[in-house]
Every structure is written in C-alpha cells, then in structure tokens.
Chains A and B, each alone.
Chain A
Amino acid sequence: MSRVLGMLGRLEGLPVAVVLALLYVAFMVFAPTVFTGYRIYMSFFQTVPPMLVLAVGLTFVITAGEIDLSFPAVVALSGFVFTWCFETFGVGWPGFVLAIVAGALVGWVNGFLVARLRVPSIMATLAAQFFWYGVTILAAGGLQIDIGTVVGTPVHTLFVGRLFDVFPLQALWSAGLVVLCWFVLNRHRFGQAIMFIGDNAEVARVMGIPVEATRIRLFALNGALAAFAGLLLTLEINVFYPTQGQGMLLPVMAAVFIGGTSIAGGQGALAGTFFGMYIIGSLEAGVVATGIGGYWVQLVEGLVMAASVILNVVIGDQGVSALSSTARRWAVGRR
C-alpha cells in the first residue's frame, strides 16, 4: 500500500493532473452539453499546442534560474520567416528550417548577452522582445500575410493535419516534444547541467560544468522551440500577422509555475508544465461554457492558478516526492 503511494508520489506533475481532472469534472457538471462531447477537446488540442511548446522551453529556462521574455517575439518572427519563404519558394520546408534557425539565433544572441556580457536575463530578453517584434513588423511592412495555399502542403499536413479527420496532429507533436524534453532535462547531461546551474551556478562551475556555454545553449534551445511554436500557430491559422504571440507571455509563464517548476531554479517539472498548460488553455472556454458569463473568466483563472500553486507548495515542499510521505502518513499514520 505505502509502496504504491510512494510510487504515485514520485509521479511528477500528479497534483496538477488532479487539478486538471477536477476542472474537467466541474465543467462536465456545469456545462454538460459542451464538455461531454469530444469537440471541445479537439478544440483544445488545436489551440493549446503552440503555447505548450513555449511552456516547455520556458521550463528549461526557469529551471536554470533564468527568465526569457522574448519568446512571443520569436513566435512572430518565425511566422514571418516561414510565410516569406513560402511565398517566395512555394514550398514549406525551407521556410520551416529557416524559421527554426532564426529562432535559435535570436536565442543564441540572448544567451550571449546573458552568459558572456552578464546582462541580467530579464533585461536582455525584454529588450530582445521589443527588438524582434520591431524587426518583424518592419520586415512585414506591418501587414498580415495570408497563406491559405499552405493547406495541403506536406509541412501543413504533417504538423497541423487532422488524424482520422478529427484529431489535430500538433497535439501529438507537442506531447511528443514534452516526452523528449523530459528525458533531456531529467536523463541527459545537458538537463542535469541546467538543474545544477539553476541550483547554484558556483557549485556547477567548480564541478567542471561549462556554465556559460550551457546558458547560451539553453537560450538557443528556447529560441528554437519558440520558433517551432510560431510555426504551429502560423500553419494552423494559415495566416501570419505581425503581432502574433502577443498575449502568450503570461499564460505560458503561469502554466510553468502551476506545473510545479520552482521560481528559485534548480528543479523543473515538465509533466506539470504539460497539465498546467492544458489547465490554462481550457479555463476560458470552460468558464464561458458554464454560462456564468465572460466577466467571470479572469477571476476563475486567478483562483485556479492560486489553488494549483498552493497545492504544489503544500505537498511539493521539495518537489512532488514529499507527497509520498504525506500520503503515507494519511494512510498508515505517522511512523
């Protein structure tokens, strides 16, 4: 019994998953017509993935004890690079690759500013956010670009097509990315370096971790992921607009913290980020569907976020593993 509880407790992201499940139960009770059908879920699988990809990248950054505010601008930049290339070459692949490269370069510059020039990441990436939106708006002439012809091209079908005509493929891509990144963070030398740097950069340094190089790679990774998010978004809606990505910063950040990643750095919970992003991405539609009115949306969002974070702090103390001892105490009494 306690062994099972112990194993449950070690499952990363469990509290957040419970919150998500409770939320859906509540929605099913208060908005049964909407939440007992499959359409609403397909809609979430269509809208949440770009933000989930962003949240995955941000989880790495926050684990390393840094912050990146520039990713919304990369969403716009990558969308522009892709649409421009698609209009120019008539095929999707070059633009796809170039957009990812552009995102990685933006991230690399962020990393260079932070790691080599010692600019605090909040300032470096805030400046980058304005700068790259500026570049994108200038390059696009401030106009949106319609690329309806992208529908049916291989890139479109592969990344945002519909499995069995209903299931948005971007949900699979983003979920697969979460799994891959979980292994990178928790089971790879790079991820371990990120955790130690976020924990105590001086310890990391004296133990022989290349701290600066790792930080640069971290920001480059986040740039590349943000570019991928921008691609998913642009492909899904078949249109680029120069302000795309704006408004994503706070929901994405909220998802990371809801998921249980510590703001202090040193420890990141990608499974938590996954559930947290679906919580954030489901709230607005869910609250509206219950019929209590749109004015309630933000209030409920605030409550759910606060509840999730409190839940993480209470049972998470030092990560979710404390849940096992809490649960054991509940089940078999204090030893």
Chain B
Amino acid sequence: MAESDPPRTALRVVDVDKYFGSVCALKTVNFDVGRNEIVGLLGDNGAGKSTLVKIFTGVFPPTSGELYVADRKVDTASYSVKTAHALGIETVYQDKSLGEKQALWRNFFIGRELTYPLGFLKVREQKRIANEIMVNTIGFRGRGIGVESRASKLSGGERQGVAIGRAMHFEASLIVLDEPTVALSLKEVRKVIDFVHKIKEGGKACIYISHNIPDVFEVADRFVVIDRGEIVAGIDKGKTSLKELDEFLLEYSHGLRDRAQP
C-alpha cells in the first residue's frame, strides 16, 4: 500500500445484522475503527460483543451488511480467519487463543504454518522464530519456559503474552483484544495495558473489549457501547470522565449494579 495514501479506517462495518436461526444477535450495527485509534467496546454479558468480534475476525459471516477493511470492501461470504489474518487483523481471545496441550512453537504458527511444499512443517524455523518472539517481544527469560513448553504450563498472563506476541509478530494493523485481562493478576493487567499503549505508539489500531471500565478508560480514544445487539452509544474520551462513563453504562445494564464494583 502506498505510504502517501493511508486508509482512513482500519475497519468499518455497515448495517450488519446477525441471526442465529431466528435469534437476532446483532441488529443494524454500524461501527468503525480509525487507522490509529483505540476503541473500547463495552457491554454486558450477552450484549453481542463477542458476536461482533467474530464477524470482524472471520469466524463467521454476518447475515447481512457490509464489511470494510482498510477502507476496502470485503466479500463477507468468503471472508474467513485466513483472509482476516492476511488483511492484518489479529485477535487475542480471553481464553481460546492457545491449544492447551500443544507446544508453544505450534501455538505461534497454528493456522499459518511455515511449510515445505507437501505441507510438512518447517519445525526448526518455527521454533527459532517462536524463540525470538518469546525472548525479544514478550520477554520470557530463564523461567523454565521455552518453545517446547505446553501452553498449559503458562500462567494466565503468560498466555496472553504469547497470544499478544503472536499478534505483534504477524504485524497486525488492527489488534482485537477480547477481554484480555479477565483472570489476570494486577501486574499482568499492567503488561496488557502497556501493550495497548504500544499499539497506539506504533500507529496501529485496536479494539479493546472489556468489562473493566477503568482499564478501557485509560487506553481507549473512544468508547462504543453495545447492548442487546445494538450499538447504543459512541462517546469520545475527551467528552466524558470515568465516572460519567461508568454511570452511563449502569443505566444500560442493571446486572452491573448488583455486582460488587469498586
């Protein structure tokens, strides 16, 4: 792509509907992410956040609507995880980014293996690159964890580190973080937040999905609130405060009020 003509948006969806059978999961959703924007996507459980993410990332197609990646329209019928990867969209899922019983060198390249012509894996090269990512990008050092370790040996934060390191390695232009801080210790949450700052500095875009409003508030440029399958608000960070945003969200989700929130 020509440097002189960068795309305005990293991702844009227009009038997207998603039905599962007769159940409406998303209704006329319009959503976009700027080329170098961090968007916090907020909403309660079952609001449609994950469904929307899976449409961006090619896990399943929308029932109707249009999808633009880097301002270019994509054919939603043939759009898949592979095409999303090819277009620079990487996703870090809360709990399903890694195969638990699989070695890390497999986890780094799953779905886009480096192979010889007949489909046999370039094991040595994959291990070498995986090791580089772990040492240089993620900063795993001398913890008894190597490319041969199984994902199940890692802590929650280390798993997110691997998934994030993988996303960085494949040079994503848009990184989707789906509840990345659930089940992490405070120190590990800090690492994830730092990483999101790096995305911004690196000129990339990010969709940050979270329940934890203070986390999102710190990193996001803009907040989009989704409730019962519809986008109900888009708020620029400059026009709100953490308190205001928190109160606004409570109006939309009575469930939150019952929970013990700081």
Contact = CB atoms under 8 A, between A and B. Distances in A.
Interface of A: 183, 187-190, 192, 195-196, 199-200, 202-209, 262, 266-267, 318-319, 321
Contact of B101 (A199, A206, A208): A199
Contact of B120 (A187, A196, A202): A187
Interface in B72-103: 80-82, 85, 91, 93, 96-102
11 contacts: A187-B123, A190-B119, A192-B110, A196-B110, A200-B100, A203-B96, A203-B99, A205-B59, A206-B54, A206-B93, A209-B110
B238 interface: no
Contacts of A266: 99-102
B212 interface: no
Given A203-B96, A206-B57, A267 B119 contact: no
B111 A207 contact: yes
Given A200-B96, A200-B99, A266-B100, A318 B150 contact: yes
Given A183-B120, A189-B115, A318-B101, 5 more contacts: A200-B96, A204-B99, A266-B100, A267-B101, A318-B152
B122 to A, nearest CB: 10
B121 interface: yes
Nearest to A202: B96
A204 B102 CA distance: 12
B113 interface: yes
A199 B57 contact: no
A316 to B, nearest CB: 12
Contacts of B97: 203, 206-207
Contacts of A187: 120-121, 123
A38 to B, nearest CB: 37
| Most chain B beta carbons < 10 A, residue from A187, A196, A206, A321 | A206
B239 interface: no
Chain B interface size, under 10 / 10 to 19 / 20 to 34 / 35 or more: 20 to 34
| Most chain A beta carbons < 10 A, residue from B91, B96, B97 | B96
B254 interface: no
B143 to A, nearest CB: 14
Nearest to B106: A192
Nearest to A195: B102
A200 B99 CA distance: 6
| Most chain A beta carbons < 10 A, residue from B82, B112, B115, B121 | B121
A177 B97 CA distance: 33
Given A195-B102, A203-B98, A266-B102, A208 B123 contact: no
Contacts of B91: 206
Interface of B: 54, 57-59, 80-82, 85, 91, 93, 96-102, 106, 110-113, 115, 118-121, 123, 148, 150, 152
A208 B100 contact: no
Contacts of A321: 148
Given A203-B97, A208-B85, A196 B102 contact: yes
Contacts of A209: 110-111
A207 B106 CA distance: 12
Contacts of A200: 96, 99-100
A195 B150 CA distance: 13
A189 B121 contact: yes
Contact of A199 (B58, B99, B121, B123): B99
B101 A207 contact: no
Contacts of A318: 101, 150, 152
Nearest to A197: B99
Q: Which 8 interchain pairs have the tightest Cβ spacing?
A: A208-B81, A208-B111, A207-B111, A266-B101, A199-B99, A196-B99, A189-B119, A203-B96
A208 B80 contact: yes
A206 B97 CA distance: 8
B57 to A, nearest CB: 7
A202 B110 CA distance: 13
A319 to B, nearest CB: 8
A204 B96 CA distance: 9
Nearest to B97: A203
Contacts of A204: 99, 110
A192 B97 CA distance: 15
Contacts of B113: 189, 192
A208 B81 CA distance: 5
A262 B100 CA distance: 13
Nearest to B118: A188
A190 B150 CA distance: 19
Nearest to A266: B101
Given A189-B121, A208-B80, A195 B112 contact: no
Contacts of A195: 99, 101-102, 106
| Most chain B beta carbons < 10 A, residue from A200, A204, A208 | A208
B96 to A, nearest CB: 5
Contact of A192 (B54, B96, B121): B121
A167 B80 CA distance: 52
A199 B100 CA distance: 7
A190 B97 CA distance: 19
Contacts of B118: 188
Nearest to A198: B101
A179 B54 CA distance: 39
A12 to B, nearest CB: 13
A190 B80 CA distance: 19
Contacts of B115: 189
